[in-house]
Amino acid sequence: MLIYLCIIFGLPTFFLALEFISFLFTGRRLYSKPQILTLEIAGMLFLPLFYLGVFDESANDCCSDSATFSPEHKPTIYLLIFLCIAAYFYSSLKGTIKSPVVEVLINVLLLFGFVLNIFIGIHIGDIYWLFGNIPVGILLLFRMIENHRLFLEHHQIHTIEPDNFFEKVAWKILALHPLLKIPVLFLLCLPVFTVITSLLMLFGQKPDAIVRAFTDTYKHGFSQLDHLCNNVACGGHFLCSVAANGHKKVVKPIRYGDRNGHKIICNRQLLIANAFEELIQEKMPRSHRYIRSQYNKVGNVIHHHYHLFSHKWLSDCIYLLMKPLELVFLITLYTFDQKPENRIARQYVRKRQ
């Protein structure tokens, strides 16, 4: 799988890197227009959509691959990515200079896309995904250079007569030297982003959604919620595990146990529940797989809100609510297992190597 991903993401990176090196030394594009269009579709459209559609998980999860962008704030980041891609292809296909205000807006989105691409690359943090970020960055650089060239050619041939103040300012910005033009466009990113954010607020997004799309995640470059995964033991009986963390007089812990290398608190309810699952797994493996998959959904909810279960009174309530099920589990064990207490006693005991 990894080899195929390297090929899919690596080929556009390789060909675009060759063209970029050639452009630096010769000032000319290496490939023909159809070849460039193919690389643009692969680098600016296919690779981003492939990653977002296949690898960006739908939820934060401590115990498996987690969402790249915060599920709650994902619409903001997705819309910004879409606008940057749309600006790129509009600029690539238009062929001539349009309204100066539109030209400035396109260049602002291209520059914003370039910066956003860097932050996404840092946030993903995996070196393999750089093969997806590098072609996007190269293509955006090429497009900003081509836009500047096209404007200079247009400026030399045509007499420019702005119709209003905004067009006049826009023309002056477009005519700036690149070393001055880029900082000005970067400053203009702020009002453009403010307008986009204001519109998104009408649909329930927050003003700081673009920041929180990165920070309200687990296990990525800018993630700020990793502490919520502390002491989360992945797998096992989620509800019973939580219940065992209540007040000692209520949940009656009896010993510590080992689960996936983590030390956990074990009470009789947890041991009975795990013994029951072991019995079902032995006797009815197909039914166990289905039950386990459904129960894992409960675990996902607990993982997403694990901080709530630091309150012992909540664990006490779960313990009491699980009591009827505990009785069902115990009756089943005594009915179908020859030595139910032996099975219960060996749960979460570290196996000797």
CA angle 44, 50, 53 (to 5 degrees): 125
Q: Is the CB of residue 316 less than 8 Å from the CB of residue 248? A: no
pLDDT of 232 strictly over 60: no
Predicted TM-score (pTM) of the model is 0.66
Rounded to 10 deg, the angle between the 165-175 and 178-201 helix axes is: 130
Q: In degrees, to the nearest 5, what angle opens at C-alpha 321 toward C-alphas 318 and 322?
A: 85
Residues paired with residue 253 on neighbouring β-strands, in sequence order:
267
Poorest-pLDDT segment among 10-14, 135-139, 198-202, 253-257: 10-14
pLDDT tens-digit series, residues 304-328: 555 555 567 777 888 888 899 899 9
Which residue do the tokens 């500047």 mark? 148
Cβ contacts of residue 150 below 8 Å, gap of 6+? 96, 97
The end-to-end CA distance of the chain, in Å, is 32
The full DSSP string for 170-213 is HHHHHHS-HHHHHHHHHHHHHHHHHHHHHHHHTTT--TTHHHHH
> Which of the two residues, 230 and 269, has the higher pLDDT score?
269
> Is 60 exceeded by the pLDDT of residue 231?
no
Rounded mean pLDDT of 61-84?
86
Indicate the average pLDDT of the chain: 82
* pLDDT band with cut points at 50, 70 and 90 for residue 215: very high
Task: Mention every residue, 6+ apart, whose C-beta is less than 8 A from residue 241.
Answer: 233, 264, 270
Rounded to whole angstroms, how far apart are CA atoms 59 and 290? 21
Q: Which structure tokens are listed for 314?
A: 């909540």
Band (5; pLDDT cuts 50, 70, 90): low
pLDDT of residue 229: 67
- State the pLDDT at residue 170: 86
pLDDT at residue 12 in the model: 77
What percent of the chain stands above pLDDT 70? 82
Percent of the chain residues past pLDDT 90, beyond the cut: 23
Weakest mean pLDDT among 65-74, 180-189, 229-238 = 229-238
Model pLDDT, residue 238: 57
